[in-house]
Structure 1
Amino acid sequence: MKQKFLSSLVILTTAAICLSSCSSKGSAEAAPAEETKTEEADMVDLSEDQFKTVNIQYGAVEDKNLSSIIRASGVLDVPPQQLLTVSSPYGGTLKNTDLLQGKPVVKGEVIAVLENPEFIQLQQDYLDYKSQLVYLKEELERQQELAKENVNAKKTVQKASSEYNSMMARVQGLKSKLQLININPDKINPGNISGRANIYAPITGYVTKVLVNIGKFVNANQELFEIVDTRHLHAELIIFEKDVPKLKIGQKIRFVLNNETKERFAEVHLIGREISAERTVRVHGHLLQEDKNLLPGMYLKAIVETGVATTTALPDKAIVQSAGKSYIFIASEEMKEEKKPDDADKNATVEKHIAFKRIEVTTDISENGYTEVILPEGFDRNSKVVVNGAYDLLSKMNNVEEEE
């Protein structure tokens, strides 16, 4: 019984080893088959007649001096001093304004009128204190004259001086408060006291925000309007961390606004010193030609020219696009022969086919008819690259794939 059990165990073990061996062999054979299938998918061939019709021409990868660039995106923006928020240090009821978004304003122009009874009290107090100041000044001068003749005590002069200086401080404080609400203290008299104060445009520009309406009570320092001066817009670019070492002040920037084809120009003016969480740096570019029709916040795509660099390149016609990828074709050493039976005489004729291989590449700068290409590892620089007829090869390859 024991001998029978051992015999069965040996048979099972042997079967398992055989199955494992067959499975490993199958997997090993499957991998090369898949690679071969992939390689065949990147191959296309032409007959000699097709080769002549397409006018295939060869070239080689060259070293070219192309402008080195950095591609970036960004927006048009204004410096902080060109974007102002208008408010009032005192609250009040808005009695008058005709501002609308987009309306142009000139620096010093009245853009709104506020009304507040506190304005009346400020002016009354100012006139009152100013009048008292005149009296205290005369009193101080009189006490100083008496002190010279030793008629009065020294402390009397000191008291008069103290009262005069205290009133002077009050008058100056009220004067400053009136100036804050744009009331000229020198023009105030008992006959023109008013509870209204004008708000003036702090800069020349365009209204971008109107946050109040007539009849609304606004609190002190509440935002009323926003005005932007668009005469000094700049391009605010977002540059990836890896490209920052290539940047220098004064480099040329070419950019195109969203939904426009017109190319505009700027130059690098400031380079940010902080890397964001997205590993980017902000670059400030000055526009070389100002345009009053441009607005802050407009989206743009830009190219920063960082100099000239020697790089591997091919003529533009050698590079084709398919499914979002870039490809080139190289001549293969393989020559195919196909036998076609002739209906007239049953003898076979031989037709030669010239094979080409499709290679995926990465492209970058394009200039003067040449494009920078990053070649795959192990690419033979001596390969014959198709520089004319690449699109015909791609079309035939796509047609064959559709038929299959």
Structure 2
Amino acid sequence: MKRPLKTSLFFFLSLILLFSCKENEKGETATQATEDSEELVVVVTKTQFEGNAMELGTPSDRPLPTVISVAGMIDVPPQNIASISAIKGGYIRDIPLLVGDAVRKGQALVTLENPEFVALQQEYLETTEQLNYLKSEYERQQVLLDENVTSRKNFLKAESEYKSAIARSEGLRKQLLLVSISPKQVEAGNISSSAKLYAPIGGSVSQIHVTKGMYVSPTTEILEIVNTDHIHLELNVFEKDINKLQKGQHIHFKVPEVSSESFEAEISVIGTTLEENRTIKVHADLTGNDDVLFLRGMFVDAQIEIESGVKEQEQQLTLPESAVVEQEGRFYILILETENDDGYSLRKVEVQAGNASGGLIEISSEELNPSDQILIKGAFEVMPM
């Protein structure tokens, strides 16, 4: 009797365990299905929608132009860059500037000190004083020659010494001006052991290579000034696309390390020399971006429009690039399903992405209709993974 009882008890416990496992499996399946559904739909409250400046819009059938994608950087013309160095060497006595400081043309930048400055001023002053005597002697010999009192040889000697002194004085005067020392101050007896370097252009200090007390030679670059009033794009275009380029073609570009905003430019100069990497330089002037701070050296991704549009049969629906979110190499948008007082219900839909230009991107999907309301601003922040 004991053995059948044990067998029955074992059979009963096995049945309980089996039913428990099946119930757990059903529960797990239901939970997974709910999670799958939540991955496809996101609910945004009215407060979230307004607080994040989100926006709905419909796809457009506006044709996108044919473009060439190129890379490049932001630069300025050579005449807008000034490398400051000393004509004569010396020790840095004062350099009150920092990188980024704005300077105006003619502003004092650096003070140099060198005993050679004193020797140069002394020589100029002595030559100038000697010039007065030689001028008088030359004029006296001129009068004597006219009266046949002196020989022509004496006159020519006085003339030679006088004109040599003039040349020497003028040469020393030019040297003083090169080191920014006023000859008039020297003639007045004001001799200084220091000289200042002045800004040849207005702009901002981009580099400083020296410190106070440091000795600089004429070959030492002390600092650099950059004027960004005429900033432009310098693009690298491969030789296969050279014949597609024309002056005046429109360009859309982005600075990927700064923002996803698209800016505009226009081709102004097309290079005529092929570089070692089989590209040519193309310069483009920025248009309509006066309120944006661009810095020399920023890398850009640009698209050059080589055709204004496409054929009608090739047109596709387009959306702002902010409406399309890339996840692991696939592209998605959020389509409005329902809207009520509580908020918005948005469905995640995968799309095929095409060409992009001017902040717009071509898309296609069997689940997308031209009348659908799409989240065109704020999609990245709420797109479910």
TM-score by length of 2: 0.66
After the TM superposition, list the runs of 4 or more consecutive aligned residues in structure 1 that deviate by more than 4 angstroms: 309-312, 321-326, 365-372
| Residue in structure 1 matched with residue 314 of structure 2 by the alignment | 313
Structure ranking higher in strand proportion: 1
Match of 1:218 among 213, 216, 219: 216
Supply the distance in 2 between the matched residues of 1:128 and 1:292 (Cα, whole angstroms). 57
Deviation at 1:126, TM superposition (A): 0.5
| Residue in structure 2 matched with residue 302 of structure 1 by the alignment | 302
The superposition leaves residues 234-265 of structure 1 with CA deviations (integer Å, 9 ceiling, x where unpaired) of 11111121111111111122211123132222
The superposition leaves residues 286-335 of structure 1 with CA deviations (integer Å, 9 ceiling, x where unpaired) of 11244573210111111112233545625348xxx998589xxxxxxxxx
Structure 2 contact 235–283 (Cα < 8 Å) conserved: yes
| Residue in structure 1 matched with residue 154 of structure 2 by the alignment | 156
Unaligned runs of 5+ in 2: 1-61, 319-325, 332-351, 370-385
Supply the distance in 2 between the matched residues of 1:229 and 1:368 (Cα, whole angstroms). 30
Call closer, same or farther: CA 1:244–1:78 in 2, change over 3 Å.
same
Structure 1 contact 315–369 (Cα < 8 Å) conserved: no
| Residue in structure 2 matched with residue 85 of structure 1 by the alignment | 83
| Residue in structure 2 matched with residue 279 of structure 1 by the alignment | 278
Supply the distance in 1 between the matched residues of 2:291 and 2:366 (Cα, whole angstroms). 44
Amino acid of the residue matched to residue 225 of structure 2?
I
| Residue in structure 1 matched with residue 193 of structure 2 by the alignment | 195
Supply the distance in 2 between the matched residues of 1:236 and 1:281 (Cα, whole angstroms). 10
Supply the distance in 2 between the matched residues of 1:115 and 1:368 (Cα, whole angstroms). 56
The count of corresponding residues between Structure 1 and Structure 2 is: 281
Structure 1 contact 99–111 (Cα < 8 Å) conserved: yes
Supply the distance in 1 between the matched residues of 2:120 and 2:278 (Cα, whole angstroms). 54
Unaligned runs of 5+ in 1: 1-63, 327-360, 373-385, 392-404
| Residue in structure 2 matched with residue 76 of structure 1 by the alignment | 74
Amino acid of the residue matched to residue 113 of structure 1?
T
Deviation at 1:190, TM superposition (A): 5.7
Call closer, same or farther: CA 1:154–1:72 in 2, change over 3 Å.
same
The superposition leaves residues 29-55 of structure 1 with CA deviations (integer Å, 9 ceiling, x where unpaired) of xxxxxxxxxxxxxxxxxxxxxxxxxxx
Call closer, same or farther: CA 1:228–1:291 in 2, change over 3 Å.
farther
Q: The residue matched to 1:230 in structure 2 has which SS?
A: coil
Deviation at 1:364, TM superposition (A): 3.8
Structure 1 contact 315–370 (Cα < 8 Å) conserved: no
Q: How does 1:105-116 map to 2 (within 5 A)?
A: 105-116=103-114
Call closer, same or farther: CA 1:237–1:202 in 2, change over 3 Å.
same
Amino acid of the residue matched to residue 294 of structure 1?
F
Q: The residue matched to 2:247 in structure 1 has which SS?
A: coil
Amino acid of the residue matched to residue 287 of structure 1?
L
Supply the distance in 2 between the matched residues of 1:370 and 1:93 (Cα, whole angstroms). 59
Supply the distance in 2 between the matched residues of 1:249 and 1:171 (Cα, whole angstroms). 53
Q: The residue matched to 1:273 in structure 2 has which SS?
A: coil
Computed over aligned residues only, the root mean square deviation of the Cα atoms, in angstroms, reads 3.1
Supply the distance in 2 between the matched residues of 1:278 and 1:126 (Cα, whole angstroms). 54
Supply the distance in 1 between the matched residues of 2:137 and 2:360 (Cα, whole angstroms). 92
Q: The residue matched to 2:73 in structure 1 has which SS?
A: strand
Matched, 1:134 2:125: no
TM-score by length of 1: 0.63
Structure 1 contact 94–112 (Cα < 8 Å) conserved: yes
Deviation at 1:230, TM superposition (A): 1.4
Supply the distance in 1 between the matched residues of 2:220 and 2:185 (Cα, whole angstroms). 28
Call closer, same or farther: CA 1:130–1:366 in 2, change over 3 Å.
closer
Structure 1 contact 67–365 (Cα < 8 Å) conserved: no
| Residue in structure 2 matched with residue 251 of structure 1 by the alignment | 249
Supply the distance in 2 between the matched residues of 1:67 and 1:81 (Cα, whole angstroms). 35
Q: Which has the larger radius of gyration?
A: 1
Call closer, same or farther: CA 1:387–1:118 in 2, change over 3 Å.
closer
